[in-house]
């Protein structure tokens, strides 16, 4: 069993690779819900949607979000009615939001609603929200505090960022199955997702960080930062705001209390060497996922370096230098 912690864009690309190399039934995803929002009165969970769509083959590859070939008639009609239209939802996408909202209005939890939608879309992998409690990513800017979607989608992440917080996290509980999935997996993989606003909210849920340090399988992370810049999006700005450098060292720092292996791009070979000298196992690979084959190759690389053995198989005396020698690109 492989457990993946993920957001919705870089994470979805990685999951697309993973599903090509591992039977879907053997994958459990723990998904960020800090970006969730009420839109036109409907409960929208953007990262859960992206992961559900990628696993059901419905994700639009061109856009990287929403359903492929979707139409936007409702969005147009809402605009004509004077309603806000900055958050784009296609018509088929909207059907999922309607169903989830109805299930939740009937008293189902987000986990139960997610599982019901996955069944209907024939998703065989397990998709777990990080929590059934509401945890909201809040981005503090000079113009005031914004939700993640206001900051990212409505305002095109142009605001300077003072800090990021996860409202509701301290009182939240991990959703059913999350802690068990992390503890018992043969390998845990942190997808190449934004360390602050996609993985940050998951780690802020009490018990999850601790489970990662106690996991029996190795914990690997794929860096979303390549050559000191994010492949896309605001990860660099947000990492800097949180006191992390925008580099593979910053990614390693964000996960330092539980990370066994960092997979970074071959372009970061020099920075990788520095991290190895500090005792971290680092594997360089081609991590830019342009094609379906790139995605599968990256998933294969990550798995080949994680599921070979469990943490407890490693002799205590194994020196970082020995691991480094085995990990040369
Ligand atoms: P979000 O929920 O939409 O923010 O999506 P994620 O957090 O899952 O993904 C955003 C991150 O994915 C960004 O920080 C990007 O740098 C990273 N990313 C996107 N495409 C790639 C890729 O092909 N390779 C790697 N290594 N990172 C990527």
Give residue limits of the domains in the chain.
Answer: 1-35+131-329, 36-130
Q: Is the pLDDT reported for residue 231 higher than 70?
A: yes
Distance from chain centroid for Cα 318 = 31
The CATH number assigned to the domain with range 1-35+131-329 reads 3.40.50.10680
Query: In this predicted model, what pLDDT tens digit does every residue of 256-277 receive, in sequence order?
Result: 999 999 999 999 999 999 999 9
DSSP β-ladder status, 187-190 and 2-6: parallel
pLDDT for residue 45 is more than 80: yes
Query: pLDDT category, 311, cuts 50, 70, 90?
Result: confident
pLDDT at residue 314, rounded to an integer: 61
Centre of ligand 1 to C-alpha 86, Å, is 21
| Coil/strand/helix, residue 265 | strand
Nearest CA to ligand 1 atom 25: 224
pLDDT tens string 48-91 = 999 999 999 999 999 999 999 999 999 999 999 999 999 999 99
Nearest CA residue ID for atom 21, ligand 1: 10
Q: How far is the CA of 224 from the centre of ligand 1 (A)?
A: 5
Mean pLDDT, range 14-31, rounded to an integer: 97
9 lines ligand 1 (CB under 6 A): yes
Q: Which residues contact 298 (CB under 8 A, 6 or more apart)?
A: 14, 17, 222, 263, 285, 286, 287, 289
| End-to-end Cα separation, the chain, in angstroms | 27
pLDDT of residue 286: 97
| Per-residue CA distances from 180 to 44, 188, 242 (Å) | 26, 12, 29
pLDDT of residue 324: 34
Q: Does domain 36-130 have CATH number 1.10.8.240?
A: yes
Q: State percent of the chain over pLDDT 70.
A: 94
Condensed to tens digits (0 to 9), the pLDDT of residues 135-158 reads: 999 999 999 999 999 999 999 999
pLDDT in tens, 178-201: 999 999 999 999 999 999 999 999
| C-alpha distance from residue 281 to each of 213, 255, 256, 328 (Å) | 16, 13, 12, 10
Q: If residue 78 lies in a helix (H) or strand (E), which one and from where to where?
A: helix 73-80
What DSSP state is assigned to residue 67? B
The CA distances from residue 240 to 237, 250, 314, 325, in Å, are 5, 9, 34, 32
């Amino acid at each position: 069993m492989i457990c993946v912690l993920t957001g919705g864009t870089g994470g979805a690309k990685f999951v697309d690779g993973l599903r090509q190399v591992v039977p879907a039934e053997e994958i459990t995803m723990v998904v960020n819900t800090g970006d969730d929002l009420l839109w036109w009165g409907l409960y929208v969970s953007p990262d859960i949607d992206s992961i559900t769509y990628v696993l059901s083959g419905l994700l639009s590859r061109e856009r990287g979000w929403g359903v492929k070939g979707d139409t936007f008639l409702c969005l147009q009609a809402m605009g004509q009615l004077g309603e806000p239209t900055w958050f784009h939802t296609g018509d088929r996408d909207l059907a999922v939001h309607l169903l989830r909202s109805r299930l939740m209005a009937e008293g189902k939890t987000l986990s139960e609603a997610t599982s019901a939608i996955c069944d209907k879309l024939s998703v065989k992998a397990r998709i777990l929200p990080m929590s059934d409690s509401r945890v909201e990513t809040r981005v503090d800017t000079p113009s005031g505090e914004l939700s993640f979607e206001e900051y990212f989608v409505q305002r095109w992440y142009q605001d300077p960022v003072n800090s990021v917080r996860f409202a509701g996290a301290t009182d939240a509980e991990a959703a059913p199955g999350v802690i068990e999935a992390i503890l018992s997996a043969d390998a845990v993989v942190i997808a190449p997702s934004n360390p602050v606003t996609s993985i940050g909210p998951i780690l802020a849920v009490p018990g999850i960080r601790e489970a990662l340090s106690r996991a029996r399988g190795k914990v690997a992370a794929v860096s979303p930062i390549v050559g000191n810049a994010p492949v896309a999006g605001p990860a660099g700005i947000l990492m800097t705001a949180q006191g992390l450098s925008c580099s593979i060292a910053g990614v390693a720092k964000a996960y330092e209390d539980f990370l066994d292996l960092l997979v970074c791009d071959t372009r970061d070979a020099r920075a990788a060497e520095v991290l190895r000298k500090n005792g971290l196992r680092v594997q360089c690979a081609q991590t830019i996922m342009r094609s379906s084959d790139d995605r599968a190759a990256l998933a294969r690389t990550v798995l080949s370096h994680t599921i070979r053995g469990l943490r407890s198989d490693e002799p205590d005396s194994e020196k970082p230098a020995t691991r480094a020698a085995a990990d040369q690109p």
